[in-house]
Amino acid sequence: MQDVPNTLKAYKTYIDGQWCDAASGKTFQTFDPYTGEPWALIPECDAADVDRACNAAYRAFESGPWASMTQTARGRMLRRIASLVEKHAEHLARIEVQDNGKLISEMSAQLKYLPEWYYYFGGLADKITGAVVPVDKPDTFTYTLREPAGVCGLIIPWNSPLLLVGWKLAPALAAGCTVVIKPSEYTSASLLEFMKLVIEEAGVPPGVVNVVTGYGATAGEALVTHPKVAKIAFTGGSATGSRVASLAAASFKKVSLELGGKSPNIVFDDCVLDDAVNGAISGIFAATGQTCVAGSRLLVQESIHDAFVEKLLATARTAKLGNPMSFETQVGPVTTPPQYQKVLSYIDVAKGEGARCVLGGGAAGPEMGGGKYFVQPTVFTGVDNRMRIAQEEVFGPVLSVIRFKDEEDAIRIANDVIYGLAAGVWTQSVKRATIMPRRIRAGTVWVNTYRAVSFTMPFGGFKSSGVGRENGQDAIGEYLETKSVWISTAASAGNPFVMKTSPQS
Ligand code: NDP
């Protein structure tokens, strides 16, 4: 029996417009990664709760106020959601920091930016149109309808919970879908607060947005395999993404996946040095490296390698570790205990492979400003791109510096990984700034900037980094089905035994 401190905040989950416990009555604790202390209790939903949520979402999709709402009214609803996120941004940011230990400066900026997703997709809601299509048959009127896909399962990781919910929820609602959201077991609280302060307050009808808090293997898999779910949108690790995709394939669900990366941040000798140093640091130490687009491989042209590394280390050494709730802190804790162990074990792997540790290289205790799950900002030089530290996603503040000779060499190294999520290029040459983005196999290439995102710009991965795109106008297509409608105005129905292929048949 779990020993539960009575000071813990007890959350309920939200299914079919009702606040409820898990059917089993079970709960689990959520921890503050800075202190390592539990602070809230979360319902542990399982297949029974997922079934209830999916059935509620299906009913709301098929009939009721949401199903009959005009596209324009859906857009208005999304704009109401946006303004409520604006109103509660600061509170929601603080809950996220308490749950995932990311910096308040980052989460606060993220939450203040988040309303834009709901405004943008709210604006698109009544611009979803089919087309009248000229067809090669007489006496026939043909057109297409673009209809919502149905019930969508949204599976969210712990690193930027509400932002990544928004990337999926905003286009899903704009398209007219209903959803069941499974947050990470480590970061459920901000989503439950969002449901209360935003979704319920905005008057979103019951069953349209449901939450099942719980574990991936139980609640997550029950959602992915539920027969009433038409589409799964997932963000997380590539191994989990592969399992999710194969489970979903059994019932032919539509799937979009935003997975891991091993992104190259490529510094040419003609770059503006200070900008490139800044970009290299923000690429790997911001968010404690716990971001899918982390620039975890720093490719530096050999002619400036040593000078650049020296400059990089001078800045990296000043990184202030500490309480993520303070706006002064620059590097916070790693979010989860397994992730903390994983990051430390990769540092050992790199050392064992013969990479040279020139900064950090271990846990960061209180004497360094750290605490329970802190890792020192770590830099390895002399990394060969075939080493595991250069090939595998660490998801922590660990940078691998790799030398290259020229453009061809940089492209070869950049593309020589299974991933293809993002890349950075630092150069003042227009030619390089044009050629490199074309040659790098990645969904996003930043030139002279890094980690910039927008609701207007498509985001997603090549290769093992994912399937489909979030953000931008096309993202809405991930939540739509196209229907072809044929209306015959012919006097005669024609030959019943022959398919209507040619204009004459
Ligand atoms: P996971 O991929 O394991 O988790 C992402 C989400 O999927 C969570 O909600 C998780 O639930 C859920 N999940 C886990 N297993 C299943 C399953 N079998 N079926 C359905 N859903 C499932 O990421 P982790 O949080 O464990 O992190 C592991 C690695 O993933 C990191 O080291 C990093 O490499 C990568 N990652 C990538 C992110 C990105 O932005 N692309 C974000 C976060 C992680 P639960 O939390 O309960 O397990």
Q: Which H, E and C letters describe 116-162, residue by residue? A: HHHHHHHHHHHHCCCCECCCCCCCEEEEEEEEECCEEEEECCCCCHH
19's CB contacts (< 8 A; 6+ apart) are 12, 13
How far apart CA 419 and CA 123 sit, in angstroms, is 33
- Residues paired with 265 in a beta bridge: 298, 424
- CB distance 335 to ligand 1 below 6 Å: no
Q: Give the SS3 label for residue 42.
A: strand
Per-residue pLDDT tens over the stretch 336-395: 999 999 999 999 999 999 999 999 999 999 999 998 899 999 999 999 999 999 999 999
Region 427-445: what's the mean pLDDT?
A: 98
Measured in angstroms, how far is the CA atom of residue 220 from the centroid of ligand 1?
10
Alpha carbon distance, N-terminus to C-terminus of the chain? 73
Task: Specify the pTM.
Answer: 0.96
Compute, in angstroms, the gap from residue 450 CA to the centroid of ligand 1. Answer: 24
HSE-CB for 335 with a 13 A CA cutoff? 24
Architecture category of domain 264-447 in CATH: 3-Layer(aba) Sandwich (3.40)
pLDDT band of residue 500 (cuts 50, 70, 90) is confident
Matching residue, tokens 């690193």: 159
The mean pLDDT value for 211-228 works out to 98
User: Is pLDDT above 70 for 504?
Assistant: no
Check pLDDT > 90 for residue 293: yes
CA of residue 11 to ligand 1 center, whole Å = 22
Per-residue model confidence as pLDDT tens digits over 105-116: 999 999 999 999
Is 468 strand, coil or helix? coil
- Report how far ligand 1's centroid is from the alpha carbon of 8 (Å): 25
**What residue's CA is closest to ligand 1, atom 48?**
216
With CA atoms as reference, report the closest residue to 31 among 208, 201, 116, 158.
158
Among the listed residues 188, 253, 186, 259, the one whose alpha carbon sits nearest the alpha carbon of residue 224: 253
**Whole-number Å distance between alpha carbons of 19 and 360:** 46
DSSP 35: T
Ordered by start, the domain boundaries in the chain are 47-259+465-483, 264-447
- Supply the residue whose CA is at minimum distance from atom 18 of ligand 1: 217
Q: Is 30 in the pocket of ligand 1 (CB under 6 A)?
A: no
The full 3-state SS of 231-300, as one line of letters, equals EEEEECCHHHHHHHHHHHHCCCCEEEEECCCCCEEEECCCCCHHHHHHHHHHHHCHHHHCCCCCCCEEEE
Structure-token pair, residue 28: 């689990």
Any idea of the CA torsion for 348, 260, 211, 93, to the nearest 10 degrees?
A: 70
Distance from C-alpha of 93 to C-alpha of 114, rounded to nearest angstrom:
11
> Does domain 47-259+465-483 sit in CATH 3.30.420.10?
no
| DSSP β-bridge partners for residue 90 | none
Lowest mean pLDDT among 19-23, 126-130, 334-338, 437-441: 334-338
Q: Find the range with the poorest average confidence among 396-410, 438-452, 481-495.
A: 481-495
Does ligand 1 lie within 6 Å of residue 279's CB atom? no
pLDDT band at 6 (very low <50, low <70, confident <90, very high): low
Nearest residue to 309 (alpha-carbon basis) of 244, 386, 242, 379: 379
Q: Where are the beta strands (DSSP E) in 9-148?
A: 9-10, 13-15, 18-20, 27-31, 38-43, 140-148
Instruction: Identify the residue whose tokens are 């130490």.
Output: 285
Integer Cα distance of 392 and 386 in angstroms: 10
Q: Is 325 exposed, middle or buried (0-12, 13-18, 19+ CB in 10 A)?
A: middle
CA-nearest residue, atom 44 of ligand 1? 236
- Supply the mean pLDDT for the chain: 96
* Residue 443 CB–ligand 1 contact under 6 Å: no
Cβ atoms of residues 330 and 103 within 8 Å: yes
With residue 432 as reference, give the H or E element that holds it: helix 430-439
> Which atom of ligand 1 sits closest to the CA of residue 243?
18
Q: Is the pLDDT of residue 4 over 70?
A: no
- 2 — pLDDT class (breaks 50, 70, 90): very low
Going by their DSSP bridges, the two strands 419-420 and 462-463 should be labelled as antiparallel
Nearest atom in ligand 1 to the alpha carbon of residue 421 is 41
| Residue whose tokens read 């890094």 | 450
CA atoms within 13 A on the CB side of 214: 27
> According to the model, what pLDDT value does residue 1 have?
38
Residues in the chain, overall count: 505
Average pLDDT over residues 119-142: 97
Q: How far is the CA of 237 from the centre of ligand 1 (A)?
A: 5
Over residues 293-303, the mean pLDDT reads: 98
Q: How far is residue 444's CA from residue 261's CA, in Å, rounded to a whole number?
A: 11
Which residue numbers are catalytic? Answer: 258, 292
270-302 exposure pattern, b = at least 16 Cβ within 10 A, e = fewer: ebeeeebbbbbbbbbbbbbbbbbbbbbbbbbbe
Q: Is 461 helix (H, G, I), strand (E, B) or coil?
A: coil
Q: Which atom of ligand 1 is nearest to the CA of 164?
A: 40
Q: Which atom of ligand 1 is nearest to the CA of 214?
A: 47
- Smallest CA-to-CA distance from 343 within 283, 285, 393 is with 393
